[in-house]
Amino acid sequence: MCRNHATVRSLLAELVGEATGPTVADMEAGLENFSRGTPRNVDSLLVVVEPYFRSLETGARAVELGRELGIPRVGAVANKSRSAEDERAVREFCEGRGIPIAGWVPFDEAVLQAERSGMALLDHRPESPAAQAIASVADSIAG
91 or 137: whose CB is closer to other proteins? 137
Q: Does 60 bind other proteins (CB under 8 A)?
A: no
Q: Which uninterrupted H or E stretch holds 103?
A: strand 101-106
Buried-exposed string 29-67: b where 16+ CB fall within 10 A, e elsewhere: eeeebbeeebbbbbeebbbbbbbeeebbebbbebbbbbe
Q: Residue 53 CB, nearest distance to other proteins (Å)?
A: 11
Residue 8 interacting with other proteins (CB under 8 A): yes
Torsion of the alpha carbons at 25, 22, 133 and 66, rounded to the nearest 10: 50
Q: Beta 101-106 vs 73-81: how paired, if at all?
A: parallel
Does position 19 interact with other proteins (CB under 8 A)? The reply is yes
Positions in 62-121 near other proteins (CB under 8 A): 62, 66, 71, 77, 79-80, 105, 111, 114-115, 118-121
Part of the chain binding other proteins (CB under 8 A), chosen from 44-52, 81-89, 90-98: 44-52
φ, ψ (nearest 5 deg) of residue 48 = -85, 130
Phi (first) and psi of residue 53, to 5 degrees: -60, -45
In the complex, which residues of this chain contact other proteins (CB under 8 A)?
A: 1-3, 5, 7-12, 14-30, 33-34, 38-39, 41-50, 54-55, 58-59, 62, 66, 71, 77, 79-80, 105, 111, 114-115, 118-123, 130-131, 134-135, 137-138, 141-142
